[in-house]
Amino acid sequence: PVKYPKYYKTIIGSELREIINDVGIDLKDSLRIINGDVLTGTKVEPDNYLGFYNNTVSVLREGNQYRMFGWVPFINNKIPSIYKTSFSWLFPNNKYDLDTNLNGEERAFVVTGEMEKVFPMDIFPMQLLKECMAENIDKMESLGIYEVAPEDFSLIDYSSSSKIEAQYIIRKGLDLMIKEVG
């Protein structure tokens, strides 16, 4: 979607529209502009400004096109997967045209061990997420809620087959801890 990717030296609060026009983005296309990186950034409109804590503007195609039998992983072999649920692992040099499509909807939250493989710390992310959803403060403390930030769960958001928004759940859990414990 970006015709001329570039690096810019700019100031905080710069208008995104100037940058977007300069790199050749056609605003008629269905695109998602992200203030920050693709894992932890915030979706913004072109009229917004570069965020105070951001040094990246990311652009992805919006995944709003319906694919017939999109859940069948071997139709066009264009669904990347780290869990071998599609045949993309047989072709490691494939280039993927990634978009914001989730390739499905929210699914059951079952214990598979997949979260632990991508989580950057030595805690139990699945159990912590479940306790945050149950608002069990004692268990959240024992599982290490004070040691994590929502951004730590960004790879889980991307790779989890359950499509659960882990960053949102952890943010709510941390907000609950601040409210209840102080």
In a domain, 28, yes or no: yes
What would the two tokens of residue 174 be? Answer: 């941390």
pTM metric for this prediction: 0.76
In a domain, 7, yes or no: no
What would the two tokens of residue 170 be? Answer: 């952890």
Same domain, 54 and 72: no
In a domain, 9, yes or no: no
Q: For residue range 24-67, what is the model confidence (pLDDT) as tens digits?
A: 888 888 899 999 998 889 999 999 999 888 888 999 988 787 76
In a domain, 146, yes or no: yes
CB 40 within 8 A of CB 21: no
Query: Which one has a higher pLDDT value, 120 or 79?
Result: 120
Q: How far is CA 89 from CA 45, 73, 86, 94, 98, in A?
A: 35, 11, 7, 9, 16
In a domain, 167, yes or no: yes
CB 60 within 8 A of CB 98: yes
In a domain, 132, yes or no: yes
